[in-house]
A = this chain, B = another copy of it.
């Protein structure tokens, strides 16, 4: 059986490969399968044993990204407490997923993968529902549409992921920088 060491569901290898692949492909979408393998620290042969081909690999990244972000949505309990607190939890939960999520957001070649948009739509609904709830409770301003706030959140998460990857931002500041900007903005408010 060969347990190959530590952990979980033996999917550890796969997921680690998927993460490094996402990180690489986000920056260089035309990277070759050999570059992907090398970036993951494995050989091209092993990469092919894990994922049949490039399509399969990309699809696997998408699947993992969607699944893990949806898990983040669950863990954040978006319905509880004030909307701003829920948002804070969401960003915190999203931090470990930010890298792969950035790939998912930018690589919108999904429009071909049909079954994909379904899962993505469901996520969109949940996030924008959070913003709508915040508007209805009077916490959030109503001149910024939930759809835009959703897109903006994705953009900020991507920016945060890149900043962390490039070392311009510490991972521990990820949540604070995103949430503070998204909620409070850059302007120094007169009173809180």
Q: Measuring CB to CB, which residues of chain A are less than 8 angstroms from any residue of chain B? A: 26-30, 84, 106-109, 111, 131, 134, 138-141, 143-145, 147-149, 151-152, 154-156, 158-160, 162-163, 168-169, 177, 180-192
Contact = CB atoms under 8 A, between A and B. Distances in A.
B186 A183 contact: yes
A93 to B, nearest CB: 19
Given A151-B159, A159-B152, A30 B109 contact: yes
Contacts of A140: 186-188
Nearest to A149: B186
Please report whether the interface of chain A is mostly helix, strand, loop or mixed according to DSSP.
helix
Given A27-B108, A134-B186, A188-B140, A156 B163 contact: no
Contact of A27 (B109, B181, B191): B109
Contact of A163 (B27, B30, B148): B148
13 contacts: A27-B109, A28-B108, A140-B188, A148-B163, A148-B169, A151-B160, A151-B169, A154-B159, A156-B156, A181-B182, A182-B186, A183-B185, A190-B191
Contacts of A163: 147-148, 151
Contacts of A156: 152, 155-156
Given A162-B151, A169-B148, A138 B188 contact: yes
A143 B180 contact: yes
Given A152-B156, A156-B156, A159-B154, A189 B189 contact: yes
Contacts of A108: 27-28, 162
Residue among A106, A144, A154, A185 with most chain B CB within 10 A: A185
B185 A182 contact: yes
A87 to B, nearest CB: 8
Given A29-B107, A152-B159, A144 B192 contact: no
